């Protein structure tokens, strides 16, 4: 039986078990997960939060992380500015980035989600509104969601991965994890 861990990676934590090459101590997965033999299926940037899957099964890890399987990943994204239908349509069609056109995404405006407070909080500018979108992609380029929202004129302020395939973050607090059957 394969192990699958659903972990809510906090902001400012590396999505690896060790921190090499840094003079300062940074938070890693080993600060929260003490299960031998599990490894992340994909990555989540240090300045992003949310669902990170870990497994001891190499095939499952590949099925989750490899772009050829097109596993859907849903992000709750706080963006700068009031995002309009034109920007959402561009995200849905695919956005031209320096490394090519993205695959079409599912994108919609959402109400402010009921999330935990981020520490430190995002920068807030009183003269510039912000809003939230739900964005589902089926590829995994480096910092892709941030680059996509910037390309349509709405830089990302906060990024929380909420779902990967059928697995969600529902009921898992930051820094906590839950094991599920696969």
DSSP characters for 46-61? Answer: TT-EEEEEEES-HHHH
Asked if 41 and 165 touch (Cβ cutoff 8 Å), the reply is no
The three-class DSSP label of residue 155 is coil
Q: What is the DSSP letter of 147?
A: H
Compute how many other C-beta atoms are within 10 angstroms of the C-beta atom of residue 94.
Answer: 14
Rounded to whole angstroms, how far apart are CA atoms 120 and 174? Answer: 14
CA dist list (Å): 110 to 39, 91, 122, 158? 32, 15, 18, 14
Asked if 20 and 4 touch (Cβ cutoff 8 Å), the reply is no
Annotated active-site residue in 12, 19, 31, 45: 45
Q: Is 45 a catalytic residue?
A: yes
CA 118 to centroid of chain Cα atoms: 14
Residues with catalytic roles: 45
């Amino acid at each position: 039986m394969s192990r699958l861990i659903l972990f809510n990676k906090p902001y400012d934590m590396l999505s690896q078990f060790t921190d090499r090459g840094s003079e300062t101590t940074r938070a890693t997965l080993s600060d929260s997960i003490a299960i031998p033999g599990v490894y992340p299926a994909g990555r989540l940037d240090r300045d992003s939060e949310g669902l990170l899957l870990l497994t001891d099964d190499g095939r499952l890890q590949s099925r989750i992380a490899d772009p050829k399987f097109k596993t859907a990943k849903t992000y709750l994204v706080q963006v700068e500015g009031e995002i309009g239908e034109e920007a959402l349509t561009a995200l849905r069609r695919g956005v031209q980035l320096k490394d090519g056109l993205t695959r079409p995404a599912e994108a919609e405006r959402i109400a402010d989600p009921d999330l935990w407070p981020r520490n430190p909080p995002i920068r807030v500018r009183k003269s510039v509104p912000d809003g939230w979108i739900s964005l589902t992609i089926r590829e995994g380029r480096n910092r892709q969601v941030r680059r996509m929202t910037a390309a349509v004129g709405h830089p990302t302020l906060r990024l929380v991965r909420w779902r990967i395939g059928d697995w969600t973050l529902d009921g898992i607090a930051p820094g906590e994890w839950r094991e599920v059957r696969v």
